[in-house]
């Protein structure tokens, strides 16, 4: 049986702390929040994830010509840090596709960094072949460093990757990216009325 005097291996953290055998290390808590929620807050270090084109700015904002609102949101997120900001983006994306028989398959595709990252470091836009040198307006923000040394893309390029991973880049025939596109939407009331109008009247015999 274990001892409960605050010194045995089965002693709880509270018991060890009360006996003076355990010292708590003061640590700053990690706060997870959305960029909308972060307005008015300030932190020493900020970590922003998912700055990938097609995700941020949001596709709905792009289709409705409201990219400026997403850019304003990015500015809010960037100005929350007192010391350092770390921004991450992905090189590849796995998106679920749907088949007519109800089957589901993931399709892998390469994705580009968010346009907002290129606005922070315009020189990368020329290096990535997205613009000519004379089309790049303005210089890079002082103190901004874009590191691309890590990521699955760098590790699998030029190597013998598994066959299942190679096939995941191929969109299967008959699969669509939206579940709504599998079957055309039909109004239930309209379908019921059409069925009722085409039904033959029953003969009544007395």
pLDDT by residue (tens digit) across 78-95? 999 999 999 988 877 888
Q: pLDDT of 139-181, one tens digit each? A: 787 778 787 665 544 444 445 555 555 566 667 777 787 777 7
Structure pTM?
0.61
pLDDT score of 154: 44
- DSSP code at position 138: S
Say what the pLDDT of residue 182 is: 73
SS3 197: helix
Confidence grade of residue 97 (pLDDT, cut at 50, 70, 90): confident
Question: Burial code of 176-194, b = ≥16 C-beta within 10 A, e = fewer?
Answer: eeeeeeeeeeeeeeeeeee
Radius of gyration of the chain (CA): 28
The backbone torsions φ and ψ at residue 171, rounded to the nearest 5 degrees and listed phi first, read -75, 120
Q: Under a CB-based contact definition with an 8 Å cutoff, are residues 91 and 110 in contact?
A: yes
Structural tokens at position 183? 């079957």
What is the Cα–Cα distance from 146 to 151, expressed in whole angstroms? 13
């Amino acid at each position: 049986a274990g001892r409960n005097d605050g010194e045995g291996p089965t002693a709880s953290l509270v018991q060890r702390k009360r006996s003076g055998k355990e010292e708590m290390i003061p640590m700053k808590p990690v706060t997870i929040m959305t960029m909308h929620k972060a307005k008015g807050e300030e932190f020493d270090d900020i970590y922003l994830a998912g700055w990938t084109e097609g995700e941020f700015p949001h596709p709905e904002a792009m289709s409705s010509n409201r990219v400026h609102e997403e850019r304003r949101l990015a500015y809010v997120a960037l100005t929350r840090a007192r010391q350092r900001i770390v921004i991450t983006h992905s090189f590849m994306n796995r998106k679920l596709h749907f088949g007519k028989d109800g089957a589901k398959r993931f399709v892998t595709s390469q994705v580009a960094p968010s346009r907002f990252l290129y606005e922070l470091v315009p020189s990368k836009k020329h290096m990535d072949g997205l613009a000519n040198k004379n089309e790049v307006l303005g210089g890079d923000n002082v103190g901004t460093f874009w590191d691309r040394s890590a990521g699955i893309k760098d590790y699998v390029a030029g190597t013998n990757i598994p066959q299942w991973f190679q096939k995941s880049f191929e969109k299967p025939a008959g699969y669509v990216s939206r579940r709504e596109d599998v079957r055309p939407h039909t109004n239930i009331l309209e379908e019921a009325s059409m069925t009722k109008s085409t039904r033959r009247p029953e003969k009544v015999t007395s």
